[in-house]
Amino acid sequence: MPEFHDPSRLLALGHDWIAAWNARDLERVLALYSDDTEMTSDRIPAFGFGASGTVRGKAQLRAYWSAALAQLPELHFELIDLYVSPDSVVVFYRNERGKKICEYLRLDDQGKIRQGSANHPVH
């Protein structure tokens, strides 16, 4: 197993992800992602980035998150828990509106996030 798939490294990635968002540092967040990353969220269409709910590539991800950050000046994530598998981490957190969200982050063989999925409650 590659060193970056060690559970302690995956937990560190989850903490870094939360810290980067709370700093509102988009470039710091994007540095955690691979150039060919994919992100899926039911929030993507609302920001005008396609009905599929998926953005592909770091440039499209930057555009989507830039738009989202501009509309969410109070954005803040409170970490609830982290869950790891051999190649992924799930970041369970509460956002600034009190909503609980699970962010599934799958890593590539370089230790960068290759696939992300924001999972929101239905109710």
- The answer, yes or no, to whether residue 3 has pLDDT greater than 70, is no
- The answer, yes or no, to whether residue 85 has pLDDT greater than 60, is yes
Q: Which helix (H) or strand (E) holds 104?
A: strand 100-107
pLDDT, tens digit, 9 for 90 and up, residues 91-119: 999 999 999 999 999 999 999 999 999 99
What pTM did the predictor assign?
Answer: 0.92
- The answer, yes or no, to whether residue 2 has pLDDT greater than 70, is no
Q: Which of 60, 72, 51, 46 is nearest to 116 (CA)?
A: 60
Domain parsing of the chain, residue ranges: 3-119
Tokens 């810290």 belong to: 19
| CATH value of 3-119 in 3.40.640.10, 3.60.21.10, 3.10.450.50, 3.50.50.60 | 3.10.450.50
Per the CB < 8 A criterion, the answer to whether 34 and 113 are in contact is yes
Q: What is the pLDDT of residue 49?
A: 86
